[in-house]
Structure 1
Amino acid sequence: MTQPATETTIPAAEAAFSLDRIVAVTLQTATQTWTDFIARLPMLALALGIILATWLLAWTSLRVARRIAGRRARPSLLRVIERLIKLAIWATGLLLALIVVFPGVSPAKALGGLGLLSVAVGLAFRDTFENFFAGMLMLWKYPFEAGDFIECGDLLGRVERVHIRMTTLREVSGELLLVPNSRLFKNPVRVLTDQPERRVSILTGVAYSVDLAAALEIVEQAVGGCEHVMRERPPQILAHGFGNSGMEIEVTWWCGSTPLAVRQSRSEVVVAVKAALDAAGMEIPFPYRTLTFAEPLTVAHDDDA
């Protein structure tokens, strides 16, 4: 025979005892937590004082660094020094605050934990750290500063600022371009404004029937009279070679190094050379085409003429 199922019931006294025990344990845990918090208040206050002292020390150190190296160091190098000082001071201050709040954490354990954390973060943000270190090296030793025009591949613009992770360029058309520092660090960069002057060359020419020596003198006088051509460096006007339609002349001069200065001087020189050769009656050659027909052409005559 199957025995009927019996229902297990908990006495009311036992249930009340269990509830009272849970409440007691909860109160004991809360009391212990509050006691530990009160006991650690001096440590927390000390850690807060360490953080405030760290901030004050970093602020004072930056002011001293600006006074000492501000007149001698480049602006980019000064920014590197400031960042390194802030990083070292804050890392030390936060480590001390951590040791004060958690006495069981030794400096060796804290540094070991930071080392493991840095490895994990470095693997996760490899590109970010690559741009970071590239930016530090660029600020340390690269020859361009804010305001310089640089060219890197198909990029051309004026450097507004070199940040830790990226460099901001203002393109000649006005757009703001954000370039990762690793790209500028790994690829060749042309600093167009490293010197205050820049050499520009164009090719012109005269017909074969023109006196070439006289044409060279006329072109030299025309270029020398241009406002955007530097007087300190005389232009170089040289015969370049024999072209398809005339003699080629190489015109070289020095002007300002910015893209606008180059464009202005090139426009002025082209206009001056064209006007001078036209005034002298010297033909600037253009392509001639000679058509040869296999059979004679019949010329039609107008009977009414």
Structure 2
Amino acid sequence: MVLSRLVGWGILAFGLLVALTVIFPTITPASLFGTLGVGGIVIGFAFRDIFQNLLSGILILFTRPFRIGDQIVSNDHGGEVVDILVRATLVRTYDNRQVVIPNSELYTKRVVVNTAYTTRRLSVEVGIGYDDSIAEARTVILKAIAALPGIVTEPAPTVLVNSLGDFSVILEVRFWISPPDRREAVEAQDQVLEAIKRSLTAAGIEMPFPTQHISIAGGSEH
């Protein structure tokens, strides 16, 4: 962890100072610290980013906005936190790559923690025909979802009219899962969409797809 690494570095630095005073007796602790004080300004400017990341790592350790094992999204990167180092945090992406994110970026910018809570709401959209009954489609969809494993019953799934599209009435199906990690989310969406497609087809409810009419101006008549 960050704290243990800082303690180790502090002990190493103290040992190095003691060794210098033993090897070079002319160097006194006062002169040594005086030299460090003069050079500290230069070092501070040179290693400002390092110190900023170091402080951010300490704050992340104590405030715990996320922990090792959590699944987070930072800018364009998303995955599982595998380690929090002194300078950066290591994230393993879902396609098994490693992303090194500076701690200052994680502490000062927005981070989405997908596994912060025990449940997570997901949603999918499905279109039905304008001639079909919304109430009937809602009943069919909710019945199909209730039979699926891994779908949380409380809060209960809901089906809402999202919009009136050009070719269909768009319904938004909301449901909850637990645990809320990436693999379970993808699998749950797959199961829900498959069950909805099967159930609506069996109930005779149309799921229209976009169609286009092309007319050619100046064509010959027969």
The question of a shared fold, defined as TM-score above 0.5 by the shorter chain, is answered with yes
The one-letter code sitting in structure 1 at the alignment partner of 2:194 is V
Identity of aligned residues (%): 33
- Aligned length, in residue pairs: 221
- Is 2:44 the partner of 1:122? yes
Normalized against structure 2, the TM-score is what?
0.85
For residues 96 and 236 of structure 1, the distance between their equivalents in structure 2, rounded to whole angstroms, comes to 68
Match of 1:112 in 2: 34
- Is 2:159 the partner of 1:241? no
- Is 2:142 the partner of 1:228? no
- Is 2:187 the partner of 1:281? no
Ranked by relative contact order (alpha carbons within 8 Å, sequence separation 6 or more), the top structure is: 2
Using the TM superposition, give the Cα deviation of residue 149 of structure 1 relative to its aligned residue in structure 2, in angstroms.
1.1
Instruction: Identify unmatched segments of 5+ residues in structure 1.
Output: 1-75, 300-305
Q: Over residues 68-121 of structure 1, what are the superposed CA-to-partner deviations in whole Å (9 max), with x where a residue is unaligned?
A: xxxxxxxx5xx42x3444455555555555556666655443322222233332
For residues 291 and 101 of structure 1, the distance between their equivalents in structure 2, rounded to whole angstroms, comes to 90
Match of 1:10 in 2: none
Q: Over residues 211-260 of structure 1, what are the superposed CA-to-partner deviations in whole Å (9 max), with x where a residue is unaligned?
A: 11111100111112122322332111122232211222110011232111
The one-letter code sitting in structure 2 at the alignment partner of 1:257 is P
For residues 125 and 166 of structure 1, the distance between their equivalents in structure 2, rounded to whole angstroms, comes to 15
- How big is the alpha-carbon RMSD for the aligned residues of Structure 1 and Structure 2? 2.7
Match of 1:214 in 2: 136
The one-letter code sitting in structure 2 at the alignment partner of 1:231 is T
Using the TM superposition, give the Cα deviation of residue 143 of structure 1 relative to its aligned residue in structure 2, in angstroms.
1.6
SS at match of 1:210: coil
The one-letter code sitting in structure 2 at the alignment partner of 1:275 is R
- Is 2:108 the partner of 1:186? yes
Instruction: Identify unmatched segments of 5+ residues in structure 2.
Output: none
Higher Cα Rg, which structure = 1
SS at match of 1:184: helix
CA contact (8 A) 1:224 1:234 kept: no
For residues 33 and 191 of structure 2, the distance between their equivalents in structure 1, rounded to whole angstroms, comes to 65
CA contact (8 A) 1:222 1:276 kept: yes
CA contact (8 A) 1:237 1:251 kept: yes
- Is 2:195 the partner of 1:272? yes
CA contact (8 A) 1:228 1:268 kept: no
Q: Mean Cα displacement is larger for which, 133-142 or 195-204?
A: 133-142
CA contact (8 A) 2:5 2:86 kept: no
Normalized against structure 1, the TM-score is what?
0.64
